[in-house]
Structure 1
Amino acid sequence: MIPSYVQGRPTGKETGKYLALDLGGTNLRVCEVNLLGDSKVTIHQQKFVVSNELKTGEMRHLCDYIADCVDSFLTENGSDKLDNDLQLGFTFSFPVNQTAINRGTLMQWTKGFSCHGAVGKDVVIMLQDSFRRKNLNVNIAAIVNDTVGTLMANGYRDPKSHMGVILGTGTNAAYYETMDKIVKWDQGPTATKEMAVNMEWGAFDNERRVIRLTPYDNKLDRESINPRLQTYEKLISGMYLGEITRNVLVSLIDRTLLFNGLSSPDLNKQWAFETAYMSTIESDATKDLSDTQHVLESILGLPMTTLVDRQIVKKVCEFVGVRAARVSAAGLGAVLSHSNLVEEGCTIAIDGSVFEFYPNFADNMMAGLKELFGDQIENKVKFSLARDGSGLGAAVIAMMAHKAN
């Protein structure tokens, strides 16, 4: 549990023009977000490519490039003529030690970045220096975690939003906690009674005291780049579901229970069975499961499969997918119970490809909540697809930080 330094909630009534900056992969995204009140917004955005040279060069060069991109965006959108500083929310998708709403020290690089002169430094200060050198009237009001951003983005549109959840390649969650329960907060009294907390729930039960794991989970974990870490995430996220399924299928082959005991070089490769294949197979409504046959024979190179083979594969995909949804529901249920929202109800903002595209995932999560709290929970709790936590959410957080100061 990590304090986000984001205090209070948006109401949807706020107005103003704010910037959002999203750095975390191949592209850099710059957004101009116009909060119109009445929970309405307009967003203009532009993407810029971040080259490998910039990813592995000097941090100052990367910051200068980001400043140039922001300058170009503002000029093109006519926002460079404003006299007052534009407030910016910076979604920086790397591990940081955050010490204030607008202060964050880089702990380590991930995702192919390795810029020199950045680890152990405050990335906000370094980027703000580049803005000053370029004479940009831009103030970095907040450094933003994308999960907290998801909560805030939906919160502007729906004041009943209490949780923000990422269910995609990875998974995480954030929720509102009362200040008296945030034991890691050591900076004295605050202006509000609650703060958004970044749960980092992917690391739940790394000690393996709660979750019952299967041999297929243990195999995946041993062969991963981070064994004994992110235990909860490895049961839920899109990065891992396909590999769990592959482990089950290979085990069935070894016991001659599938494909007459014959595998293929492709299926034998780690990570070869993508989670996207599971979606295709679970959605296969053809009489002879021809879509499943295409995945197994044309993509994975298996010998001729029987209908029974394909039915078994579909059932395995369903088991793994349903478990992921139910384990996710357990996490949601824990927060609902802790926050005393089972009776009152709330909106849970969710972003990510697994939630959005995986067949029946949302329905299976709700089924899990019903088992925990009864059928009435469906009338109390609403799942809301909340895209763009790194854009709208970051801008909303910049607005809140600016008003707080």
Structure 2
Amino acid sequence: MDEYIHDDDSYRRVQALLLEEMERGLGKETVAEATVKMFPTYVRSLPDGSERGNFLALDLGGTNFRVLLISLKGEKVNMQNKIYPISQELMAGAGEKLFDHIAGCISNFMMDHQLVGVGRIPLGFTFSFPCRQEGLAVGRLVRWTKGFHCQGVEGEDVVRLLHEAIRRRSDIDVECVALLNDTVGCLMSCAFLDHSTEVGVILGTGTNACYMERLNRVGTWDGDHGQPDQVIINTEWGAFGDNGCIDFVFTDVDRAIDHDSLNPGKQLFEKMISGMYLGEVVRRVLIKCINAGLILSGQVTEELDTPSRFYTKYLSEIEKTIARIMTAATCSTSALWSAREPLILPLPVSIATLLNRIDKPSVTVAVDGSLYRFHPHFHNLMTQKTQELLNPGLKFHLMLSEDGSGKGAALVAAVSNRIAAAAEANK
């Protein structure tokens, strides 16, 4: 089982490789070959607490979507939302019908909240599908995922499609002023409360991260170079390793899971750590331990022998049960603590790489996702290992992000609205 244990030299080598891939993704001449794409999001300012007013948010990333109303007044936030379903027919039909349905739901929501006829309302749009942004409110769908196959959308600007659907109704006055993914929303949601937040990490079904980067290090930047001289970068780090650069840390279990997946050779880093795969990682490791006669008297149960049957949520449930037993028996958990490290180490390695690059004395890292939220030891393990991999003198803390895909989207819209109002006043 030695292949599952790596020393700090291995992890620092992974850090160096991730930094190389990030540089490649930021380079104008090298981005085409980069696996870590490092998309500029065009979000350049964080909330400063002066945002005021009503803002809509649209959160689309699965078979249900949400429309939200966020009312901001200083640090006070009032949020109301409603969930609307998307049928299989809409998911596989014409893109125009999908966006007409979304616009109809926005209209329904606005009527329920007496928002019709009160003037134009800014909207932030969390669109959790691979998208190449060309501006704060311009983004082209690269490809559908999560079961969507709508025709006429891939390669198109989804904000334009939304605006066209809104205009076809002619009963609501809404402008989408910002398009973002859930990592940016995660960061913005925490930055509203803690202005030192500069990293957002999603650790749920999938994994991704974004961070604030200086413009002079973004070779792919095609916007203006005025103040603020920074932009949030969507790393898309789930594809780290797709070029084979970190094969030396892959185990036979990692390789088997990739081989049996729907997208072999793709999103290899994500397959090491995200909620979609981590339960299967543990199931296969357990099978190896049983076959080696190390546990369960060498007997494999039918359930455990069934692929994908050991759900990631079981890890949290088992850990909570172990904690209760250990507490009752006053036993040492040091051995168990060490055994958990290989399962979570890809994340501390990556977070430390971002923090070392930002190179500020103290940075808050916003984190969201079911795996981080519900696992009883993830926070402590991530904090400990990340600190060990940081450059001397740097500090950080992890902060749970609350509803980044909803509140965060509205906050991006609010910041955009504040900046536009200030620019107008200075004319």
TM range (shorter): 0.7 to 0.9
Structure 1 position 367 matched with structure 2 position 402:
no
1:187 to partner: Cα distance: 3.2
Quote the residue 1:339 is aligned against. 358
Structure 1 position 131 matched with structure 2 position 166:
yes
Work out the CA distance in 1 between the residues paired with 2:47 and 2:89: 39
The counterpart of 2:406, out of the listed 361, 367, 391, is 391
1:315 to partner: Cα distance: 11
Work out the CA distance in 2 between the residues paired with 1:199 and 1:119: 21
Quote the residue 1:301 is aligned against. none
Number of residue equivalences: 376
- Check whether the contact 1:370–1:376 (CA below 8 A) recurs between aligned residues: no
The counterpart of 2:293, out of the listed 231, 256, 259, is 256
Quote the residue 1:54 is aligned against. 90
Work out the CA distance in 2 between the residues paired with 1:168 and 1:286: 22
Quote the residue 1:104 is aligned against. 139
Q: Does the residue aligned with 2:116 lie in a helix, a strand or coil?
A: helix
Structure 1 position 329 matched with structure 2 position 348:
yes
Work out the CA distance in 1 between the residues paired with 2:407 and 2:177: 14
Corresponding letter in the other structure for 2:346: V
Where does structure 1 lack aligned partners over 5 or more consecutive residues? 290-313
Quote the residue 2:111 is aligned against. 75
- Check whether the contact 2:202–2:368 (CA below 8 A) recurs between aligned residues: yes
Work out the CA distance in 2 between the residues paired with 1:346 and 1:258: 42
Where does structure 2 lack aligned partners over 5 or more consecutive residues? 1-37, 327-332, 421-427
Alignment of 1:137-286 (within 5 A): 137-210=173-246, 212-285=249-322
Specify whether residues 272 and 392 from structure 1 end up closer, same or farther in structure 2 by C-alpha distance, changes over 3 A only. same
1:350 to partner: Cα distance: 0.6
Quote the residue 1:17 is aligned against. 54
Work out the CA distance in 2 between the residues paired with 1:28 and 1:369: 34
Specify whether residues 114 and 138 from structure 1 end up closer, same or farther in structure 2 by C-alpha distance, changes over 3 A only. same
Deviations 1:241-268 (A, max 9, x none): 1111111111122233332322133222
Work out the CA distance in 2 between the residues paired with 1:12 and 1:208: 44
Quote the residue 1:357 is aligned against. 374
Corresponding letter in the other structure for 1:111: K
Quote the residue 1:308 is aligned against. none
- Check whether the contact 2:138–2:179 (CA below 8 A) recurs between aligned residues: yes
Work out the CA distance in 1 between the residues paired with 2:39 and 2:144: 19
- Check whether the contact 2:352–2:387 (CA below 8 A) recurs between aligned residues: no
Work out the CA distance in 1 between the residues paired with 2:399 and 2:266: 29
Work out the CA distance in 2 between the residues paired with 1:257 and 1:324: 19
- Check whether the contact 2:51–2:415 (CA below 8 A) recurs between aligned residues: no
- Check whether the contact 1:325–1:362 (CA below 8 A) recurs between aligned residues: no
Q: TM-score w.r.t. structure 1 length?
A: 0.87
Corresponding letter in the other structure for 2:124: G
Work out the CA distance in 2 between the residues paired with 1:369 and 1:98: 30
Q: Does the residue aligned with 1:35 lie in a helix, a strand or coil?
A: strand
Work out the CA distance in 2 between the residues paired with 1:369 and 1:109: 34
Deviations 1:274-311 (A, max 9, x none): 1111212222248889xxxxxxxxxxxxxxxxxxxxxx
Q: TM-score w.r.t. structure 2 length?
A: 0.83
- What is the identity percentage for the equivalent residue pairs of Structure 1 and Structure 2? 37
Work out the CA distance in 1 between the residues paired with 2:181 and 2:412: 10
- Check whether the contact 1:322–1:361 (CA below 8 A) recurs between aligned residues: no
- Check whether the contact 2:66–2:82 (CA below 8 A) recurs between aligned residues: yes
